[in-house]
């Protein structure tokens, strides 16, 4: 049995245990396999082990991988999870199913307009990224800015607002990990409660948070998508096509 298959089994077991510890159903949490820098062959191995959702950070690398795996497209869901520049939005609008890293209205407007150029594609699922730890090196907006951006996104025709995403500063203490995730969950619940009857918020159900080192803390604080790369594919050395 190859390492990716074993690793997937171990990560799924971690998710199940974390969900049960939080008195949640394991089925509530989706595993997003972060395949950035790994070759298309690794994605195929993971797919044959039952994994269907994959996350990518680098547009050019991702598009090459998606096109190389075009024959498998009906069974795969591609999530863009990295910082997104304006000159890369068209490729993301054309090739991805989800974007987790929206933090500017201008980028959202470009994605919506460009998604509309591909009438055979469904609307793009999007999350707003929060810089919950207020790190200068990270993308995302502050907690106080989130609701305004969410409201603006709901008016765009080719996007569906699904929820929030966060990458807190890494910390070895699970208590401190949970504090950061709890702040995102509080924001999510507040927006959900304020707008649950409004058009544009009917699919606001997603908390994308938690990675290889902190997925247990994220699940304890309501995560619905955990983004795991290293624990599945191994250590990253360089970008591979």
Give the chain's domains with CATH numbers: 3-233 (3.20.20.10)
C-alpha–C-alpha distance, residues 182 and 124, integer Å: 27
**pLDDT value at residue 238:** 54
**pLDDT value at residue 139:** 87
Cβ neighbour number for residue 12 with a 10 Å cutoff: 18
Cβ neighbour number for residue 60 with a 10 Å cutoff: 11
Which value, in Å, is the radius of gyration of the alpha carbons in the chain?
Answer: 17
CA angle 231–180–227, rounded 5-degree value: 25
**pLDDT value at residue 137:** 77
Q: Which residues of the chain have pLDDT under 50?
A: 239-241
Is the pTM of the predicted complex or chain greater than 0.85? yes
**pLDDT value at residue 1:** 55
């Amino acid at each position: 049995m190859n390492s990716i298959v074993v690793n997937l089994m171990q990560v799924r077991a971690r998710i199940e245990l974390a969900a049960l510890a939080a008195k949640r159903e394991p089925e509530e949490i989706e595993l997003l396999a972060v395949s950035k820098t790994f070759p298309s062959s690794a994605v195929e191995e993971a797919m044959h082990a039952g994994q269907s959702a994959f996350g990518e950070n680098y547009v050019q690398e991702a598009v090459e991988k998606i096109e190389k795996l075009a024959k498998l497209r009906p069974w795969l869901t591609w999530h863009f999870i990295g910082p997104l520049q304006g000159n890369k939005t068209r490729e993301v609008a054309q090739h991805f199913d989800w974007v987790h890293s929206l933090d500017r209205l201008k980028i959202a407007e470009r994605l919506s307009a460009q998604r509309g150029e591909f009438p055979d594609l469904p609307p793009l699922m999007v999350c707003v990224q929060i810089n919950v730890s207020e790190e200068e090196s990270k993308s995302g907006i502050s907690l106080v800015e989130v609701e305004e951006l969410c409201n603006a996104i709901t008016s765009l025709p080719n996007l569906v607002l699904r929820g929030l995403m966060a990458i807190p500063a890494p910390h070895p203490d699970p208590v401190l990990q949970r504090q950061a995730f709890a702040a995102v969950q509080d924001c999510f619940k507040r927006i959900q409660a304020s707008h649950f009857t409004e058009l544009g918020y009917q699919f606001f159900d997603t908390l994308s948070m938690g990675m290889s080192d902190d997925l247990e803390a994220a699940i304890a604080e309501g995560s619905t998508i955990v983004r795991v790369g290293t624990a599945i594919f191994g250590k990253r050395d360089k970008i591979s096509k």
